[in-house]
Structure 1
Amino acid sequence: MAKLSQVAFLGFGEAGQAIMSGWSENQAPIATAYDIKTDNPSLRKAKLTDYIESGVQGCFNLGAALSGATAIFSLVTADQARVAAEHAALHIQPGQFYFDCNSCSPDSKRMNARLIEQAGGKYVDVAIMSPIHPKRHQTPVLISGPHVAEAKKIMEQLEMNLDVIDGDIGAASSVKMIRSIVVKGMEALMAESFLSAKKANVEDYVLSSLEASHPGINWRQAAAYNLERMMVHGQRRAAEMREVALTVEQLELDNAMAQATVKWQEQIGVLALKADSDEFTELANTVLKRLAS
């Protein structure tokens, strides 16, 4: 088994910071990080602050971040996963583990794997199966691929919560992608329904009707939560859902639901609104006001 001496983060946004904060409460590994925001003068200061506050050694180039790491955690947006793998392949050292935690289609993961494996790295398909908060490093993940036996031991040293799924690279991401048709699709479906209800001034009746039909769900609470998720993470979710649509297309099925989810997630996410309330009516009014303008 590879001796865990150091981990590296490729991308250090919400997910990387959350995972590191969980490790820091116990015996945190030595960690380095590189995020492309350090290349942007207007974003660099905030990202350097993230490094310092999280207890990682921030780096100004990817080569420095990856040097000496046993395990590399790629945590970028879905649309940047391929670029991240291409750049990592230029610097990866023989035997380093590359945990691709990005929300990509199985084919995208397989293309990334070829880049990493040809450069001497050990690629692991990782699917993060729930929001990164509140469980942080113990958020449930699935892993697949030829190196899962060694990868499992590394992740267990890091006290991560994982399951191995039978199959090669792409198996773990297939579960993630296909599940997202429902999870992210429900968000978009609720947005379309409940924003329409609010604009028609019948939201109380619609929500009451749904609660009568499906009493096990607090529909008003669910509507508020899902709308808030789209406001905060809609653009990232849209990028993921493009990969979901690609997954369905590659399975030779109609991906109309996934494509529609992309449109709603992006439409709300691009507004970059602050979700300052946990109450549906207030959130809906904020979104509708901006959509109207």
Structure 2
Amino acid sequence: MTAAAGSPVIAVLGLGEAGGRFAADLAAAGARVRGYDPRVAAPPGVHDAADAAEACRGAALVLSVNSAADALDALAQGLPGCSPGTVWGELNTAAPAVKEAVQRAAGQCAVVADVAIMAPVPPRGLGTPMTASGPGAGPFAALLGPLGAPVEVLDGPVGLAATRKLLRCVFYKGMAAAAVEALAAARAAGLEQWLSGNIAEELTRADAATLDRLVTGSSTHAVRRTHEMEAAADLLDDLGVPARVARASRDWLRDLSAA
């Protein structure tokens, strides 16, 4: 789709896997998109800006899609091109303190929205669910919603969306780490196919009551399970597999038993 003269100008800073896909989808949806990334060229349909300030100049919305370490640097580079009404969408996965630092640094030069991307971007692109909080959350949703982005606006300050995202990460990424560690050990023991099928069966069987059973069972049987995970960690040592998750689980169970 060709961008209409009255369509919003959106800047995308960071054109990696997520930013590049967002930029391409926004252009396809009819927005006028300017992109900047010192390492990656802009996708077709997106103006390849010479620097971050040029990308942001005249933009109604800026999407900063970099990393937590680059969040403040991206803001410093882009802010000279912003005006007081510019909505700065802080999409980087970062701690609430980083999002708050971005808001302080933006001052009156831009309105900051703390945005959390709540699923992997590649399958759905601009259709990936997002949550947003802070003073820029409403305007962020109003600008992106008509272009096809599902944005849940949270009634709360900058940092709230990041808190939700990171709490979710503790579970999902922790579960992924446990699966990777267990399968590595199973592979070393010649039992990978068996364990893979067992894990898949457990995930398929899970229901709304599973969480309660996990939490209640861990507290009720903490002493026994502490010893089980100690034995599991010893097994991984013997197999030559780092027992990071196993020992962390043992330590959590030990704390539960003490409580």
CA distance in 1 between partners of 2:119 and 2:125 (Å): 10
Q: Could you report, residue by residue, the CA deviation over 1:140-161 in whole angstroms, capped at 9, with x for unpaired residues?
A: 0001112333222112232210
* Aligned-partner residue type, residue 21 of structure 1: A
Identify the match of residue 9 of structure 1 among 8, 12, 22: 12
Residue 76 of structure 1 aligns with which residue? 66
Q: Give the alignment of 1:229-240 within 5 angstroms.
A: none
Identify the match of residue 161 of structure 1 among 137, 150, 154: 150
Q: Give the alignment of 1:205-224 within 5 angstroms.
A: 205-211=194-200, 213=202, 215-216=204-205
Relative contact order higher in (CA < 8 Å, ≥ 6 apart): 1
Pair 1:147 & 2:150 matched? no
Pair 1:120 & 2:122 matched? no
Following TM superposition, by how much is the alpha carbon of 1:106 offset from its aligned partner in structure 2, in angstroms?
0.8
Q: Give the alignment of 1:263-278 within 5 angstroms.
A: none
> What SS is found at the alignment partner of 2:205?
coil
CA distance in 1 between partners of 2:160 and 2:120 (Å): 20
* Aligned-partner residue type, residue 118 of structure 2: M
CA distance in 2 between partners of 1:213 and 1:146 (Å): 42
Following TM superposition, by how much is the alpha carbon of 1:209 offset from its aligned partner in structure 2, in angstroms?
3.9
Following TM superposition, by how much is the alpha carbon of 1:24 offset from its aligned partner in structure 2, in angstroms?
4.0
Residue 225 of structure 1 aligns with which residue? none
Counterparts in 2 of 1:205 and 1:150: CA distance versus 1, 3 Å: closer
Residue 35 of structure 1 aligns with which residue? 37
Q: More displaced, 145-154 or 204-213?
A: 204-213
Residue 85 of structure 2 aligns with which residue? 95
* Aligned-partner residue type, residue 174 of structure 1: T
CA distance in 1 between partners of 2:164 and 2:91 (Å): 13
Following TM superposition, by how much is the alpha carbon of 1:184 offset from its aligned partner in structure 2, in angstroms?
1.4
* Aligned-partner residue type, residue 29 of structure 1: A
> What SS is found at the alignment partner of 1:65?
helix
With the length of structure 1 as denominator, give the TM-score of the two structures.
Answer: 0.64
Counterparts in 2 of 1:104 and 1:214: CA distance versus 1, 3 Å: closer
Counterparts in 2 of 1:206 and 1:159: CA distance versus 1, 3 Å: closer
Runs of 4+ in 1 over 4 A off after TM superposition: 211-215
> What SS is found at the alignment partner of 1:99?
strand
Counterparts in 2 of 1:4 and 1:97: CA distance versus 1, 3 Å: farther
Following TM superposition, by how much is the alpha carbon of 1:86 offset from its aligned partner in structure 2, in angstroms?
2.6
CA distance in 2 between partners of 1:121 and 1:191 (Å): 42
Counterparts in 2 of 1:13 and 1:168: CA distance versus 1, 3 Å: same
With the length of structure 2 as denominator, give the TM-score of the two structures.
Answer: 0.72
Structure with bigger gyration radius: 2
The answer to whether the 8 A contact 1:142-1:172 is kept is yes
Identify the match of residue 49 of structure 2 among 25, 37, 59: 59
Residue 238 of structure 2 aligns with which residue? none
* Aligned-partner residue type, residue 20 of structure 1: A
Residue 196 of structure 1 aligns with which residue? 185
Q: Name the count of aligned residue pairs.
A: 204
Following TM superposition, by how much is the alpha carbon of 1:131 offset from its aligned partner in structure 2, in angstroms?
0.6
Q: Unmatched 5+ residue regions in structure 1?
A: 38-46, 218-255, 261-293
Question: What RMSD in Å do the two structures reach over aligned CA positions?
Answer: 2.2
Residue 219 of structure 2 aligns with which residue? none
Aligned-residue sequence identity (percent) comes to 26
Following TM superposition, by how much is the alpha carbon of 1:85 offset from its aligned partner in structure 2, in angstroms?
2.0
Residue 179 of structure 1 aligns with which residue? 168
Residue 126 of structure 2 aligns with which residue? 137
Counterparts in 2 of 1:198 and 1:11: CA distance versus 1, 3 Å: same
Following TM superposition, by how much is the alpha carbon of 1:129 offset from its aligned partner in structure 2, in angstroms?
0.2
> What SS is found at the alignment partner of 1:36?
coil
> What SS is found at the alignment partner of 2:71?
helix
The answer to whether the 8 A contact 2:58-2:81 is kept is no
